Structure 1
Amino acid sequence: MYKLILVDDEEEVRRGVLKKIEWNKYGFEIVGEAENGREALDIAEKVTPDVVVTDIKMPFMDGIRLAEELKERFPTTKTIILTGFDEFEYAHKAIKLNVVEYVLKPISSKEFIEVLIKTKERLDNDIEQKKNMEILREHYTKSLPILKEKFLSSLVGGRLKKDEIEEKSKNYNIDLHGDNFVVSIVNIDYGSQIMDYEEKDLAAFSVLNIINEVVDNYNLGIVFIDNGKIVLITVCKNLERNAAIGVTIRALEEIHYSIKKYLKLAITIGVGTFFSHITAIGSSYQNALAALDYRMVMGENKIIWIEDVEPQGKNRVVFDEVKERDLTSSLKLGNEDNLCVTIDNLFKEIIEARASLKDYQIYLMEIVTTILKVAQNFRVNTEEILGHNYNIFTELYKFNNLKEVREWIKNIALKIMKSIAQGRKDSCKLIVEGAKEYIAEHFSDSNVSINKLCAHLHISPAYFSSIFKKETKMTFVNYLTQVRMDAAKVILKTTNLKSFEVAEKVGYSEPNYFSYCFKKYFGISPSEFRNSN
C-alpha cells in the first residue's frame, strides 16, 4: 500500500473524495488529511507519504508552495494537483515540482481512479527500476569503463599532476572545471545482514545507481567505485565555498534518504574537506576516509563531515594517571558495579569530547593496555579467558561505534576482575591450608607464634590475621588452642603420662597454665577428664 495524504481546505470536499474511492483496492492507504499546506507538511514529517493530493487555493500555504516544500524535503514523494479551470495555467508552471498529474475540478470518481492507477504505475516502476539488479549491473558496466575508473582512482589517490588531470578528463569526457571540490565516500552498513559476495555487489550497484540519479539531478559531479568504495567527487561551479557546502550536503541527504526508502539499506557517508583546486582532491579523499572512520565514535547510518568532527581548536582526550589508577583499583577490588561505573565514566568523556580520531584510538588502546597490565601483574591467564590466538588490539578496530567498544571492554574487564578475585580467593585458601599444616606440625612447640608462622608463609601478620579469620571464623590463637586441646584429650585418654608431661607435648611450658586453659576450654580439669571414662 502506498501512503497518501489528502489536502483541501473544504472539509466537505475531503469527505466526498474519501468516500467515493475504495483506496485499498487501488493500492493506497490514507495516512492523513489536512486543511492547508502547513498542516500537510506536519503530517508528512511524521508519515513520509508516497503521494500528496492537494488543492491549489488554501489559506496559510497554497498547493504550489506545498509542492515546492515537498520536493525539497521529500524528493521521492509524488504530488497530484487539484485545480479549477482558471488556475490551470498557474498550476502547470509547477511541472518541475514532482507534480505527476493536474486534475481539473470537479472530478468524477472514474477520472480520479484513472489518475490513481497511473500514479501507482509510476511508483511501481520507480521501485522496480531501482530493484532490477540485472539492469543495474549492465548500467554499471557501461557507465564505468576500465580506463575511466583507473583515471578517477589515480585522481583521488593524488597521483596526477595538473596537466595530466586536464588531458585525461578531456579524453574521458569528464568535466572537472569548477570553483570548489570535495570527495565523499559512501559505505554500505550491512550490520547483522548476511550477504554473499554477489548480493553485496548487486547492493553496491543499486546504491551506485541511486547516487548517480541524484548527482545528475544536481549536476554535481562524478560517481565511481574505487577499491570497493563508492566515491563521489563534487565539482561545484560558480558557487562560493558556503554555497557549495550547502548544495553538497543537501544532495547527500537526498542520497541517504532515497537509499533508505528504496533499498532498505543503511549507509554512512564520509565527507572530506572542500578545496578550491582539483589537484587537492587527494587530500579531500583522505579526509573523507578519516570522516568515515568516525563511525566508531558517532555510529553508523549518518553523514559525517570531517570539518564537523575535527574542527579547529579541537579538544584533546587523555588517559591520564588518575584514570589509570581508578581503572586499576576497580579491577583489583573485585566489585562488578564499581568496575562498570568506572568504565562508563571513561567512555562518557570520549563520547562527549570532540577530539581527533587518533586521540580516540590512543585513549582506547591505553584502556586496554591498563587492563592487560593488571591481568599480567596478577598472573591471570588471558589466553584461557579470551581464547587462543585472540589479538585484543586487532579486535579493537572491528567495532562500528563506541557503545560496542565499551561493552566489549567491559566484558573483558569483568572476566579479568573475576579471575583476579577467584585467584585471590584460591590464594587465601592455600595460605590457610598452609597455616593449618604448619600448626599441626609445630603446635607442640611452646614458642610457636603468628610471627613465626607468617615468616614461614612470607606474608604480613595483619594480612594473615584477616584472611585466616575470614576463612576459619577463628583467630590464630583460638585455632592453635583448639588444636592443642584436641591433642591433649587424645594423650590423656590413650597414655598414662602425667599432666606436666601432657602440657609439654602440646606446647605449654607451664603445667599450671595448661591445666587452667584445659579447664576453661572443656569445663573440667585434665585429671577429671581422664577419670570421667
Structure 2
Amino acid sequence: NGVEALEAIDKFHPDLVITDVDMPHINGIQLIKQMSDRKYKCKSLLLTVYKDFQYIKTAMDYGTSGYLLKPVDEDELIESLIKVRKELDGNKLLSEAFDIVKEKFLCSLIEDSVDYEEIGTDKSNLGITFSENDAFAVMVVEIDNIFDINPGEIDIEGVSRAIISDIDYIVNMTFSSCTFRDNMDRICVLLWHADKSILESKTFNVAEEFRIFTGKKSGLILTVGMSSVLRGSENLKYLYDEAVRILESAFLLGKNKVIRHAEGFYPANMTDMR
C-alpha cells in the first residue's frame, strides 16, 4: 500500500526503501516521485516484472538508485544493496558538509555578520536564490513538547530534521525559502518573494499549515513567531530579532499557535518598512 509506505517513511526515516511497482492507492513509481518531491534523503530500489526501458527510465528520473526484476536473484540483490550502501556513505558525508556550510551562512546572514557585497557569490554557490531587493519575512519555530520525547525510544535529532524537511516542503509550495537551525538550535524559516503584498497576505496561512500538519503527523506542538515583512536583504537581522521576540511573547499570548507582529507585539525600533 503506497499510502502506508509514505506514512512509514515519514515515521521511521529509513536509509533505503525497496518498493514493488504494483501497489494499491500509490504505485511504486508514484511513491518514488513523492519521495523526490518531499526531498526525502533515503534511497530507493524498485522491484518490477516490467522490462520496458522507458518505464524504468521514469523511475530513474525520479531518483531511484536502481531496479530489480522479479523474481529477484539473491546475488543481484546483494550487489544492489552494496551499491546503495556506498552511495549512502558518500552522500551522507557530502550532504552533511553542504548543510553545515549553508546553515552557517544563513546564521551569519540573520546575525548581520555577512559582507553584503559578497552575498551574491556565496548564496549562489549554496543554491539560495533571493535578490537583495526582494521582500522578506522570518519565522522562528519552537517545539514546545520536545522534552516529552524519550531519547531512548525516539531519535530527537531525526525528529528535528524531519520537521525541518516537512516545513521546507510545505513552505516551498508557496514561497522561496530556506529552513535551518540558528545558533540557539531553534528552527528558522527565511521566506522571500518579489511581491511584498503576497508575502504579507499568505505567510500566516502557510505557517498555520505546517504547524497543524506537524501536530497531526507526529503529535509535536509547535509555536511560531512570525516577523513583519520588509523589503531588502539588509533587514534580515531585524526581522530575525523581531521573530525571536515575538516567539518569546508566547508566555503571555499562549503556545501552540502562530503569533504575528500584529498580535500585541510592537518593537521599539522600527527600520525602513519599504
> Normalising by the residue count of structure 1, what TM-score does the alignment of the two structures yield?
0.33
Q: What is the aligned-residue RMSD (CA, Å)?
A: 2.6
Are residue 148 (structure 1) and residue 102 (structure 2) matched? yes
Q: Note if contact 2:177-2:191 (Cα within 8 Å) is conserved in structure 1.
A: yes
Q: Note if contact 1:161-1:279 (Cα within 8 Å) is conserved in structure 2.
A: no
Q: Which has the higher helix share?
A: 1
Q: Any idea what SS the aligned residue of 1:154 has?
A: helix
1:46-195 residue pairs with structure 2 within 5 A?
121-135=1-15, 142=95, 145-177=99-131, 179-190=134-145, 193-195=148-150
Query: Please, which runs of 5 or more residues in structure 2 have no aligned partner?
Result: 16-38, 43-90, 269-274
Q: Note if contact 2:146-2:220 (Cα within 8 Å) is conserved in structure 1.
A: no
CA deviations on 1:244-299 (whole Å, 9 max, x unpaired) are 12221121111011101111111011112211001110110001110110121112
Q: CA deviation at 1:137?
A: 9.2
Which segment is superposed worse, 212-221 or 252-261?
212-221
1:209 to 162, 165, 170: 165
| Separation of aligned partners in 2, 1:287 and 1:145 | 25
1:236-275 residue pairs with structure 2 within 5 A?
236-237=193-194, 239-241=195-197, 243-275=198-230
| Separation of aligned partners in 1, 2:146 and 2:253 | 15
Q: Any idea what SS the aligned residue of 1:148 has?
A: helix
Distance 1:145 1:216, change over 3 A: same
Distance 1:253 1:194, change over 3 A: closer
Q: Any idea what SS the aligned residue of 2:173 has?
A: helix
Counterpart in the other structure of 1:200 = 156
Amino acid in structure 1 at the alignment position of 2:135: N
| Separation of aligned partners in 2, 1:137 and 1:240 | 31
Q: Note if contact 2:242-2:267 (Cα within 8 Å) is conserved in structure 1.
A: no
Q: Note if contact 1:182-1:234 (Cα within 8 Å) is conserved in structure 2.
A: yes
Query: Please, which runs of 5 or more residues in structure 1 have no aligned partner?
Result: 1-120, 314-533
> Normalising by the residue count of structure 2, what TM-score does the alignment of the two structures yield?
0.63
How many residues in Structure 1 have an aligned counterpart in Structure 2? Answer: 191
Amino acid in structure 2 at the alignment position of 1:235: W
Q: Note if contact 2:227-2:239 (Cα within 8 Å) is conserved in structure 1.
A: yes
Amino acid in structure 1 at the alignment position of 2:99: P
Amino acid in structure 2 at the alignment position of 1:229: R
Counterpart in the other structure of 2:186 = 229
CA deviations on 1:200-243 (whole Å, 9 max, x unpaired) are 21221121111111122224311112231111100112x233x2
1:346-495 residue pairs with structure 2 within 5 A?
none
Amino acid in structure 2 at the alignment position of 1:185: V
Q: CA deviation at 1:301?
A: 0.8
Q: Note if contact 1:137-1:202 (Cα within 8 Å) is conserved in structure 2.
A: no
Amino acid in structure 2 at the alignment position of 1:307: A
| Separation of aligned partners in 2, 1:188 and 1:164 | 34
Q: CA deviation at 1:192?
A: 6.6
| Separation of aligned partners in 1, 2:139 and 2:14 | 26
1:276 to 231, 235, 241: 231
| Separation of aligned partners in 1, 2:187 and 2:150 | 18
CA deviations on 1:2-24 (whole Å, 9 max, x unpaired) are xxxxxxxxxxxxxxxxxxxxxxx
Q: Note if contact 2:164-2:187 (Cα within 8 Å) is conserved in structure 1.
A: yes
| Separation of aligned partners in 2, 1:267 and 1:252 | 10
